[in-house]
Amino acid sequence: MQSIRRILVVIEPSAETDKVESLAMRRACLIANAAKSKSNPDIKEPSLHLLICDKKLDHSELLATLKHDLQAEDFNVTAQQEWHENAHQTIIKVQQAEGSDLVIKQHFPDSTLKRALLTPADWKLLRYCPCPVLMVKTDRPWKGSAVLAAVDVGNPDGEHSALHYSIIQHGHHLAQITGIDLHVIAAHPSPLLSAADPVYQLSSSVEGQYREQCKVFQTEFNIDDAHLHIAEGPADVLIPFTAHHLKAAVTVIGTVGRTGISGALIGNTAEVVLDSLESDVLVLKSEEVLAHLEEELARV
């Protein structure tokens, strides 16, 4: 989060009708203010770029009002209305054009029927956006809550390990912003009596293996055992359960799933838990996936 210099804030006109200050914009201001107060005086705080995705109605007056109000609070802000085929492609094209390091968007869940028939637009944004995406789901204040970072240490290869480090690092920075504790969860599978390795035949052995994998980042980010949650079960169930138990304000999760611009990946944990989590959700991708998406976008 400390390396963020440009934040793309997606403004939902329907949400602004009754409430001028959107949840997405509130989070963007919080992050920008935190960076401003903690950064080197020679480094400027992140700038904000407001975006409304609409090809029908003119929202120039709303954007002008929002921009004016933010500038009055000393934010460096620009704004535009744009449309390219659909919402998620519009957001990604603007993100690329603006060089944004973070996209912040309020999440509006689709109905169960609609999700069964069509891939939700927010899922597509999480899949194809080549930078971190913060989905805002609640107006709960971050301060006084908890930050939960979800890692899959059962995959210790280089790509996963780098992603785990990034997830913990972003969670640590968010905890610094909010002035609260960072919690980490790692879900492990049930033991298999048929497993060739005896370590995976007993639940206690599997948990011990996972805890061993977590020691490196525990030491670096000063995470004690009380803030490390190792549990048996599916990640898409345990992550929302733990976030609810901790009353987490934001959950950080990652994905290494590769998909082309025209591809589809149903069942990605980040997508599955998006609607079930009661917290905001920050989704990160591995460096390999980001490079893959950048290559795909260059061909479009």
DSSP the chain: -TT--EEEEE--HHHHTT-SS-HHHHHHHHHHHHHHHHS-TTSPPPEEEEEEE-SSS--HHHHHHHHHHHHHTT--EEEEEE-BSBHHHHHHHHHHHHT-SEEEEE--PPPHHHHHHS--HHHHHHHH-SS-EEEE-----STTSEEEEEE-TT--SHHHHHHHHHHHHHHHHHHHHHTS-EEEEEEEPPP-TT-SSGGGGSHHHHHHHHHHHHHHHHHHTT--GGGEEEEES-HHHHHHHHHHHHTEEEEEEEE-----TT---TT-HHHHHHHH-SSEEEEEE-HHHHHHHHHHHHH-
pLDDT band at residue 193 using 50, 70 and 90 as cut-offs: very low
Residue ranges of the chain assigned to CATH 3.40.50.620 = 6-106
Average pLDDT over residues 209-217: 87
What pLDDT was estimated at residue 238?
A: 93
Q: Is the pLDDT of residue 39 over 80?
A: no
What pLDDT was estimated at residue 289?
A: 58
Average pLDDT over residues 236-255: 93
Q: Is the pLDDT of residue 241 over 80?
A: yes
Structure tokens at 266: 């149903």
Domain 146-299, classified CATH 3.20.20.70, yes or no: no
Contact 201, 195 (CB under 8 A): yes
Residue ranges of the chain assigned to CATH 3.40.50.12370 = 146-299
Structure tokens at 213: 């994998």
Contact 35, 64 (CB under 8 A): no
Q: Is the pLDDT of residue 44 over 90?
A: no
Q: Please state whether beta strands 146-151 and 77-82 pair in parallel, antiparallel, or not at all (unpaired).
A: unpaired
State pLDDT tens for residues 6-26. Answer: 999 999 886 544 444 589 999
Alpha-carbon distance 293 to 261, whole Å? 8
Average pLDDT over residues 155-179: 83
Average pLDDT over residues 251-260: 71
Structure tokens at 201: 């035949």
Architecture of the domain whose range is 6-106? 3-Layer(aba) Sandwich (3.40)
pLDDT band at residue 136 using 50, 70 and 90 as cut-offs: very high
What pLDDT was estimated at residue 41?
A: 52
What pLDDT was estimated at residue 264?
A: 37
Mean pLDDT (the chain) is 81
Q: Is the pLDDT of residue 55 over 80?
A: yes
What pLDDT was estimated at residue 115?
A: 55
| Residue 113 neighbours by CB distance under 10 Å | 8
| Residue 117 neighbours by CB distance under 10 Å | 9
pLDDT band at residue 71 using 50, 70 and 90 as cut-offs: very high
What pLDDT was estimated at residue 205?
A: 74
Q: Is the pLDDT of residue 293 over 90?
A: no
